Every structure is written in structure tokens, then in C-alpha cells.
Amino acid sequence: MNRLALLPTPLTEAPRLAGALGLAGSLLVKRDDLTGFAVAGNKARQLEPLLEDALRRQADVLLTGGSTGSNFIQAAAAGAAWAGLQCVLVLAGPPAAQPVHPNLAAALAWGAQLRYTGDLDRASVDDTLPVVAAELAAAGRRPYLVPRGGASPVGAMGYRAAVDEVLTQLAGRRPVVVVAAGAGGTLAGLVAGNVACGRPLRVVGASVSRPTDEVAARVLDLARQVAALREEPAPTAQDVELVDARGPGHALPSTDGEAAAATALRTAGLVLDPVYTAKALAVVPAVAAGRPALFWHTGGLLDAVAGWLGAGAAQTAGAPR
């Protein structure tokens, strides 16, 4: 299979952003928003091994799910179309529960078929995915089921390989790495790779979705499965470090995140989304604590656009007539 992502992604210096954030050390940005496939961002790294595995297993349907604003659903739909697979998405809530998000609009443009759980709790997706997989199989289809966010050992392998890539680019530098952590697949791959390479980096996840202890357990389990697949040393609990970056809650913008996003946009031209990357950048100064830092930009362009559109609509509604 041809490569999905254009790798390596750039590793860039961001001195003006570092100064604006009050960092005492330097700031590098790993530009995984620039993976080059559709608007998939970091999801392209995860989808590449997942699609390879799906094709190897002769699947004809990529089945996954999430919320209507999920970055992964649109990336999965694009990846499935690229690989010649049908895409079925299981979405939390009823069809009319929320306005159409740009991520959902993009998924529909790439031909995804939708199923709704009727329950806004994202966990309802996890319960419904196996049911839909059984229905598809009974109809003679060959579904390949991917957990929400692509957080499986196979998907996390994409970020295990990313560690080799970034260490080459760093050429001996050892910054503190900060990355947003939602479903945990990205962080799990980075943890597995860091351990396999002798723990040269401190890797910190900014948990934007769940309590840190819950995410830590998920990440450690995934990282250990990645290590087992590659027959590499297994991570321990001490290898998984998380800080709470949820703010008011998942998918709800935080004051610190909004400030960080505005600063990144105006000093470095970086587009951050309010759900993941903005909250992750906001914790970089405290995590780095004077040391050089590397912010791993995971993308989320359409989520950022949705935030801008919402802010624009609010200003228009409040304008004098």
C-alpha cells in the first residue's frame, strides 16, 4: 500500500510563541497537523497501519465511530475512500441532537454511512460498534472495527514509529514533549517508542477528555501491547505521565486554551483547535518548568474552524441592528 502520510513532518522552532507563553527555554513544534492527507492531522499516522491491516484481512468496510465533532471520523472516512473501502460511522446521540459539525460534513463528503446510538454519551458508541459489526457480517460484509479515535495497538504503532523520526530530527536535543491525550493512542505510541529507544525523552500527555488516572491505565495497556507486537521492552506505570488539561470538560473550550490558541495563531501562524491542541499548548509552560519544550501539534483544523464559526455567529447575534 502507498504511504498515507507525508513523512517526516516538520520540526520547527517557535521563538516568538515561546516568548509570548513566557517560556524560559526554547520551544519546538512537531507539525503533525501537516501530515499531508486530507485534513487528517495526526490521524494519518494512525490510519496508515490500520488501513494496511484492514486490507491484509480483506475487509471491505471500515467501521468506527465517535461524536459528530470527532476529528477521527472525518479522517477515517477519507482514509477508507482512499483505500477503496466503504466507511460506516457510529455516532453518539440522535441525528438531530446537534448542528452539523465541519468534521461530520467532511465525513459525509467522503461517502461515509451513518448510524446513530440515540445516546449522547460517547460510551454508547463503544457498545454499539460490535452490534453494527455483527449486522454487517450477517449481511455478507467484511467489517474492520476500529475503536474511537483509532486507539488500538495497531493504530498506536504509527506513533511508535514517530519516535524514531523525531529523535533523528532532534539530533541529540532532549526537550520535554507535550501532546494532547484523548483516546490515548497517540500518547501510547510515543510512550512505547520512548521506552524502546532507552527513554531519551520525557513525554507528557495533556488529558483533555478523562481523569488522568483513567487515561494513564488506558495508555499503559495500549503501550504494552505495542511493545509486545514489536517485541520491545514493556513500558511501566512510571513511563506514563499525564496532566489534567480538561478545563470545564471534554469538547468545552477552556479560558487558558483559548488564550494559548490566540497566541499561537498570532505569533506563529499555528491553528489550534479548542478541544485538544489549545488545551495541550496551555500546559506547556508549567510542564516544561524552564526546560526546552516540544509541543506535538496533532491537528484539528476543522474543529478550529467550527470554533471560529461559533464565535462569529455569537458576535453577529449580539451586534446592534
pLDDT tens by residue, 198-228 = 999 999 999 999 999 999 999 999 999 999 9
Mean pLDDT value across residues 4-28: 97
Same fold, 11-41+151-316 and 43-150: yes
Q: What's the fold here for domain 43-150?
A: Rossmann fold (3.40.50)
Q: How confident is the model at residue 100, as a pLDDT?
A: 83
Looking at every residue in the chain, the average pLDDT score rounds to 94
pLDDT band at 311 (very low <50, low <70, confident <90, very high): low
Output the CA torsion sign for 247, 177, 6, 155. Answer: negative
Instruction: Over range 137-150, report the average pLDDT.
Output: 97
Residue whose C-alpha cell reads 519544550 in the numeric block? 293
CATH number of the structural domain 11-41+151-316: 3.40.50.1100
How many CB atoms lie under 10 A from the CB of residue 201?
A: 21
Q: Which residue(s) pair with 65 in the sheet?
A: 90
- Of the pLDDT bands very low, low, confident and very high (cuts 50, 70, 90), residue 232 is very high
Q: What is the pLDDT of residue 310?
A: 76
**How high is the pLDDT of residue 3?**
87
Q: Where are the domains of the chain?
A: 11-41+151-316, 43-150
Distance CA 91, CA 122 (A): 8
3-state secondary structure of 148: helix
